[in-house]
A and B are shown apart, each in its own frame.
Chain A
Amino acid sequence: MSKRPWPFVLGGLLVALLLAGVVSNYASAHPDGLDSSLLKGCTVNADGEITGGSCPAQQAKDHELADSPLADYGVRGVSNGFLSTGLSGVLGVLLTFALGGGLFWLARRRGPATGSATVPGTGATAGPASDQAGPGSGRAGDERPARAAGTR
């Protein structure tokens, strides 16, 4: 329980970077479930543009930030499609990790070090109590089988 999460988090981040940076280029380009449902009633050409009929998707408007430098998962100015998609994916993973991880780190409960046993009374909230129950009961669960086996 006292193991630090960081090696795992860094390893997971590498996997995410690989998926977004490389594998993303092999993703299906077809419209997703929602978009295809909204196209029902319309005919589309090979490029996915509506050519006729009537369907909810015709009401779609441009995105507010359609000219963002990373719009549509590409980096503006990078002409190589593979590189553009991969680079936007890498930037997206890093940005999401920085934003999400940063906010969660700021919002976290300050107190005793990572799950290390029970240090009562350091936090004023009800949080530490439930935290103690977690690792505490987990440890009891680990020890019980050993003790029971010993008594048998």
Chain B
Amino acid sequence: MHISNGIIDGPVAAVFAALALAVLTFCVLRGRRDLDDRLAPMAGLVAAFIFAVQMLNFPIFTAGVSGHLLGGALAAMLVGPWVGALCVAVVLVVQALVFGDGGVAMLGLNITNMALLGTAAAYVLIALLLRVLPRTPTGLAVTAFVSALVSVVVASQGFVLQYWLGGTTDLGGNLTGLAGTMAGVHLLIGIGEGLITATTVVTVAKVRPDLVYALRALKPAVPAPAVPVAGGAR
């Protein structure tokens, strides 16, 4: 979902660059509370892993169209929303500056969509779902799948907003057409994102549950019925 140069005009790109920089700075300040000797290497791994999986474009049902992981939900689950957004941003910076993927002038737009909007939308859902769903591998998988799917669609609509503000082609008022096309195709891509995210998170939770941020930070709203204390108090 990397925007190429020339698609959005310069002034709007500059505004989003400033916005992205401000929010990323806040993420650094807030994320430092989470970053300890254990989370820092894990965050490096998450960034490297997202870079790798972003190379793996998968076909979707629509002929001739592919999609790839964005990674916001994966990062939010494994290292939290603040550090997670920074992980995706690091990937986007490397891609733009070294691999010629996503215009350098468009970096603020791309970071806003994929690193900020995607991660934020995912984490809101993660926080909600992990509190209401059972604390089982299935509950974790459903949380990862749904939050990942929605985050991709939200990120795609971030682009639509940007295109409305500074798109370089006059769509003749047919912005809803673009919004619908983007939402539809990214709903399909989101299924792939959901499957990859759920598989990865469940695997990590099986091997090292202590390295899954969402499992550490989000306690269930009600005591899990499996805890004998609750039964004993009855």
Chain A residues within 8 Å of B, Cβ to Cβ: 1, 3-6, 8-9, 12-13, 15-17, 19-20, 23-24, 27-38, 40, 54-66, 68, 70-73, 88-89, 92-105, 107-109, 111, 113-115, 125-127, 130-131, 134, 137-138, 141, 144-145, 148-149, 151-152
Contact = CB atoms under 8 A, between A and B. Distances in A.
Nearest to B186: A33
9 contacts: A8-B207, A27-B66, A30-B57, A30-B64, A63-B100, A92-B95, A96-B91, A105-B44, A145-B229
Contacts of B96: 65
A32 B5 contact: no
A109 B104 CA distance: 31
Contacts of A151: 232
Nearest to B63: A30
Nearest to A72: B100
A16 B51 contact: yes
Given A5-B39, A70-B100, 12 more contacts: A32-B189, A33-B60, A33-B186, A34-B2, A34-B182, A60-B4, A64-B105, A103-B90, A105-B44, A108-B39, A138-B216, A152-B228
Contact of B58 (A27, A59, A61): A27
Most A CB within 10 A of own CB, among B7, B35, B44: B44
Interface string B13-42: 000000000000000100111011111111
Contact of B49 (A12, A54, A141): A12
Most B CB within 10 A of own CB, among A37, A111, A141: A37
Contacts of B38: 4-5, 114-115
A47 to B, nearest CB: 13
Given A12-B49, A33-B185, A104 B35 contact: yes
Given A73-B99, A96-B51, A31 B65 contact: yes
Contact of B98 (A24, A92, A102, A131): A92
A108 B83 CA distance: 11
A104 B99 contact: no
Nearest to A8: B208
B52 A93 contact: yes
Interface size class of B (residues with CB under 8 A): 35 or more
Nearest to B231: A148
B104 A64 contact: yes
Contacts of A89: 52, 55
A96 B57 contact: no
A101 B41 contact: yes
A26 B229 CA distance: 52
Contact of A148 (B53, B156, B229): B229
Contact of A59 (B49, B99, B168): B168
B52 to A, nearest CB: 4
B48 A93 contact: yes
Interface in B76-130: 83, 86-87, 90-91, 93-101, 103-105
